[in-house]
Amino acid sequence: MSLHDHAPVEPGYEVHTHHGDYVRIWAILVVLLVVSVAGPFFGHPLVTLVTAFGIAVVKAYLVAKNFMHINVAPRYVAYLVGTCLMFMLLFFAGAAPDVMKSDGTNWNKPAWVAAHEAAVHGGAGHGEAAHHE
């Protein structure tokens, strides 16, 4: 017994998505996971970056394409998702020039400067760290 108790409307979309080999995709995802965990052990920052974030992008793409079937859905879905991601890049681009600095026009962040000094000098320059231009 369905909730829709009137004559069925002809669907204007693909009713059944083509179901691929989901276990195979899952296996690839697991292998990628292992690689991303192993990445830092190579000790090279660039390797870590590529394995951690590059792989994250690949995994997200695999899930979106194979599990969420975004490539079967009408094009505007992919555009919608892409646009929202672009907006996040835009937000980052607009805010980062302020948030990532420790000083600017008529302001500074004393705690940031102090923390930086402490990190650089390993805590030895504690007294000087309180002063700033």
Partner 1 sequence: MSASPIATTRTAAGMPTGRLAVWWVIASEIVIFGGLLGSYIMFRLSHDAFAAQAAHTNTWIGAVNTLVLLTSSLFAVLGHKAADAGDGPKAARLLYLTAGGGLLFASIKFLYEWPHEIHEGFTISSGTFWSFYYTAAGIHAAHVIAGVVIMLIIAPRAKRNLDLHRVELIGLYWHFVDVVWIFLFPLLYIAK
Partner 2 sequence: MATAPVSHSDSHGPGHHAPGFVEKYLWSTDHKMIAMQYLFTGMAMGLIGGFFAYTFRMQIAFPGVDVPGFGVVSPNEYNHLITNHGAIMIFWVAMPVLIAAFGNYLIPLMIGCDDMVFPKLNRLSYQIFLLSALILIGSFYVPGGGFAGAWTMYPPLSAKPEYGLTPLGSTLFIVAVALEFVAFLMGGINFVTTAMNSRAPGMRMYDIPVVVWMIVVASILFMASVGPLIAGAIMLLFDQNLGTAFFNPDKGGDPVLWQHLFWFFGHPEVYVVLLPAVGIVAEIITVMSRKKLFAYRTVLYTTFGTGVLSFMVWAHHQFIAGIDPRMANIFTITTLLISIPIAEMMFVYIATLYGGSITLNTPMLWALSFIAEFLIGGVTGIFLGASGTDIYLHDTYFVLAHFHYTFFPIAIIGTFAGLSFWFPKMFGRMMNDTLGKIHFWGTILPFNCIFIPLFVLGAAGEHRRIFDYSLFPELARPELRHLDQFATVALLIMLSFQLVFFYNLVTSLLWGPKAEKNPWQSNTLEWTADSPPPHGNWPVLPTVYRGPYEYSTPGRDQDFWPQNVP
Q: Are 66 and 22 in contact (CB under 8 A)?
A: yes
- Please identify which residue in the block is written with the tokens 């681009």: 93
Name which of residues 57 to 96 contact partner 2 (CB under 8 A): 83-84, 87, 90-91, 94-95
SS3 75: helix
Dig out the tokens for 98 from the structure: 């302020």
For residues 35, 37, 41 and 47, what is the CA-based torsion angle, rounded to 10 degrees?
Answer: 60
Q: Is 20 in the site for partner 2 (CB under 8 A)?
A: no
Contacts to partner 1 by CB under 8 A:
1-6, 9, 11-13, 16-17, 19, 22-23, 25-26, 29-30, 33, 36-37, 39-40, 48-49, 52-53, 55-56, 59-60, 63-64, 66-68, 73-74, 76-77, 80-81, 84-85, 87-88, 91-92, 95-96, 99-102, 112, 115-116, 119-120
